[in-house]
Amino acid sequence: MTNISREMFQTYLVAGTQNTGMDDFLNILEQALQAGITCFQFREKGAGSLQDSDAILKYATAAQALCRHYQVPFIIDDNLDLALQINADGIHVGQSDHPWHKIETAKAHGLITGLSCHTEQELHQSHNQPILDYIGIGPIFPTNSKEDAKPALGTNRLRFLTQQSELPVVAIGGINQENVAQVAKTTVDGVAVISAVTHATDIAQAVQALQKPWHRSTDEN
């Protein structure tokens, strides 16, 4: 069982081959791990994603091996069967993924469990659920990486929702080097990104820029 700390959510990369192309997926992940991402979620979903379960298994297993090497938690989006099959560190589910059944089963197997929330009501439903480990809130800004993304919440709404959560919160959606400081000011524990890292020309620089607000506050305290 993986230990859970708030720091683990600080720089959380989410990606699948649809975001990187198949050839570059592992290379981009390794560069991000080297640069210091604190968590990785394998999210093979949406247009251009792999449909063949053997191919998905192959990429998931290779990504997991890399994450193990860098001692970074390896979380799988939605696919509980895959997470149990390869003994992932955790799963992340959305509101439309039949979340509670998956969260219960995953927790019974000792996995880290995360749930996406967009509204106050969804957040309150997840309150005091001992089987849930963290919350993802988003999208904060408009995003091109999720076809069915809900409307952007903005940072004021993010701050309001985060203040009501006792669980660690990671913000997601449209977060990049330019707006991360604004997001970090809301008391979230970290940021989850797809394109800010997978589409970066310099991956190490992108990861470091995303971490900067947290490192700066550590330096000042």
Nearer to ligand TZP, 106 or 153 (CB): 153
**CA–CA gap between residue 129 and residue 5 (Å, rounded):** 17
**CA–CA gap between residue 164 and residue 137 (Å, rounded):** 12
**CA–CA gap between residue 60 and residue 74 (Å, rounded):** 9
149: partner contacted, choices ligand TZP, Mg ion, none (Cβ within 5-8 A by kind): ligand TZP
Binding of residue 196 to ligand TZP (CB under 6 A)? yes
Interface map 24-53 toward ligand TZP (x if CB under 6 A): ------------------------------
Active site residue 102: no
99: partner contacted, choices Mg ion, ligand TZP, none (Cβ within 5-8 A by kind): none
Active site residue 146: yes
Looking at the DSSP assignment, which residues form a beta bridge with residue 14? 41
Binding of residue 145 to ligand TZP (CB under 6 A)? yes
Active site residue 43: yes
**CA–CA gap between residue 138 and residue 159 (Å, rounded):** 12
Looking at the DSSP assignment, which residues form a beta bridge with residue 137? 117, 171
Binding of residue 11 to ligand TZP (CB under 6 A)? no
Distances (CA, A) of 135 to 91, 125, 152, 172, 179: 12, 12, 17, 10, 20
* Nearest distance from C-beta of residue 11 to ligand TZP, angstroms: 12
Write phi, then psi, for 140 (nearest 5 degrees). Answer: -80, -40
**CA–CA gap between residue 31 and residue 120 (Å, rounded):** 36
Which of the ranges 51-59, 81-89, 103-111, 135-143 carries the binding residues for ligand TZP, by CB under 6 A? Answer: 135-143
* Nearest distance from C-beta of residue 142 to ligand TZP, angstroms: 8
With CA atoms as reference, report the closest residue to 99 among 67, 136, 72, 63: 136
Q: Which residues bind Mg ion (CB under 5 A)?
A: 78, 94
- Given the residues 102, 107, 126, 146, the one annotated as active site: 146
170 within 8 A of 190, measured Cβ to Cβ: yes
Active site residues: 43, 116, 146
- Interface residues with ligand TZP (CB under 6 A) are 14, 138-139, 143, 145-146, 149, 172-175, 193-196
Residue ranges of the annotated binding site are: 41-45, 77-78, 97, 116, 143-146, 174, 194-195
Annotated binding site for Mg(2+): 78, 97
